[in-house]
């Protein structure tokens, strides 16, 4: 179906952003080749995947601050990333005010989890109970934010609001993981932090008011990659009884073989620009391109998907990552895993954040809540 009119202005802005990024890349390369250049080529801005929201950013107080305190300097690119991350945080704040939906005031607690051989990771726990949980404990879910592996954080206004609304409406304890961002901390740092957070959640379940028998994982976009990878790591190492994997617009194959670029053609975004932008995500996250074939980087490419938890996968019609979601659902079903894939028509990658203005976003939230409520069974 046609793109929802709500996205028309955002699409215009995003197209301009992508073209500017491509033009900036060409200029930087030409400047580097020009023999009379007086200095280094200008730093390229780090772009994101999906929509204009994904301008690279990692604001202070969010997005792996625990890890970032000791992050090594990366030359002139680091300053450019810091500027863009600051700008994107401001963008996110405006979007929540204009077209988002604030979350309810529920109880939250902050925790820092140690990670063997990696930076410690911050976890914010959202408690839906006003005071004390039921004696038998509530379901819990470990959640990972989106942002192309290089942006975002649990303190982003739209991310925080979504966690509050989901915890409250579904009656589950949400443990939001502030994993370290690339390129400062490339793969597999975030995967190991995800696993440490899961181990901590099971070990701390009694103190957190969580029922160990009713725990799942969830993630959006790059966060869905981490959630899916975490189910593989858990199966391969400890086999905690995970009950659900909820994956929203997941990227699960960093080789790019399952990208569906037909989704960008009606948006007026040339194939080469869309492909360049999406491939840049993998280049930022992976220290070595060959790592894209590893199962914990590309969960779709795992040798086996046996023994993984039931999956609910949500994709968007105008999102090239829809191919990843379709393929991963099919791979899980072939392995005998209960998996469903739902595609939302007429909408784009960042649909869930527009709950204050877009009916499809409110329906998306309702479907997420329904999936999380399965943990109560």
Q: Does the active-site annotation cover 129?
A: no
CA distances from 77 to 55, 183, 280, 376 (A): 14, 10, 15, 46
Query: Cβ of 49: how many Cβ atoms within 10 Å?
Result: 28
| φ and ψ of 35, to 5 deg | -70, -20
Please name the residues in contact with 175: beta carbons below 8 A apart, sequence gap of 6 or more. Answer: 123, 124, 125, 126, 140, 141, 142, 143, 197, 201, 208
Given 64, 143, 221, 280, the catalytic residue: 221
8 Å CB contact between 45 and 80: yes
Given 84, 127, 349, 365, the catalytic residue: 349
What's the alpha-carbon Rg for the chain, to the nearest Å?
A: 20
DSSP characters over 184-221: TS-TTHHHHHHHHHHHHHHHTHHHHTEEEEEEEEEEET
Q: Does the active-site annotation cover 349?
A: yes
Given 4, 169, 211, 319, the catalytic residue: 319
Q: Does the active-site annotation cover 304?
A: no
Measured distance CA(14)–CA(116) in Å, rounded: 39
First to last CA, the chain: 36
Q: Which residues are catalytic?
A: 221, 319, 349
């Amino acid at each position: 179906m046609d793109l929802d009119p709500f996205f028309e202005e955002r699409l215009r802005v995003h197209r301009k952003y992508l073209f500017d990024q491509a033009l900036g890349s060409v200029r930087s390369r030409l400047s580097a080749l020009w023999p009379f250049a007086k200095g280094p080529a200008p730093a390229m801005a780090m772009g994101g995947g999906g929509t204009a929201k994904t301008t690279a950013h990692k604001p202070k107080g969010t997005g792996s601050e625990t890890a970032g305190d000791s992050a090594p300097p990366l030359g002139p690119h680091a300053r450019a990333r810091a500027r863009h991350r600051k700008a994107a945080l401001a963008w996110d704040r405006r979007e929540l005010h204009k077209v988002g939906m604030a979350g309810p005031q529920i109880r939250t607690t902050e925790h820092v989890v140690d990670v063997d051989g990696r930076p410690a990771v911050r976890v914010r726990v959202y408690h839906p109970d006003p005071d004390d949980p039921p004696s038998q404990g509530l379901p819990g879910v470990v959640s990972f934010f989106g942002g192309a592996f290089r942006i975002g954080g649990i303190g982003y206004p739209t991310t925080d609001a979504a966690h509050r609304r989901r915890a409250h409406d579904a009656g589950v304890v949400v443990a939001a993981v502030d994993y370290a961002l690339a390129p400062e901390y490339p793969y597999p740092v975030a995967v190991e932090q995800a696993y440490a957070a899961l181990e901590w959640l099971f070990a701390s379940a009694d103190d957190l008011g969580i029922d160990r028998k009713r725990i799942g994982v969830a993630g959006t976009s790059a966060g869905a990659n981490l959630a899916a990878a975490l189910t593989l790591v858990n199966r391969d190492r400890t086999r905690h009884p995970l009950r659900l994997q909820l994956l929203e617009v997941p990227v699960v194959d960093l080789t790019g073989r399952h990208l569906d670029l037909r989704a960008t053609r009606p948006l007026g975004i040339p194939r080469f620009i869309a492909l360049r932008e999406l491939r840049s995500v993998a280049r930022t996250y992976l220290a070595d391109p060959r790592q894209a074939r590893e199962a914990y980087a590309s969960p779709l490419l795992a040798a086996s998907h046996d023994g993984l938890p039931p999956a609910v996968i949500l994709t968007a019609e105008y999102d090239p990552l829809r191919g990843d979601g379709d393929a991963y659902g099919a791979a899980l079903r072939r392995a005998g895993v209960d998996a469903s894939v739902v595609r939302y028509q007429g909408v784009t990658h960042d649909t869930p954040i527009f709950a204050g203005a877009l009916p499809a976003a409110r329906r998306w939230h309702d479907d997420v809540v329904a999936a999380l409520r399965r943990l109560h069974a």
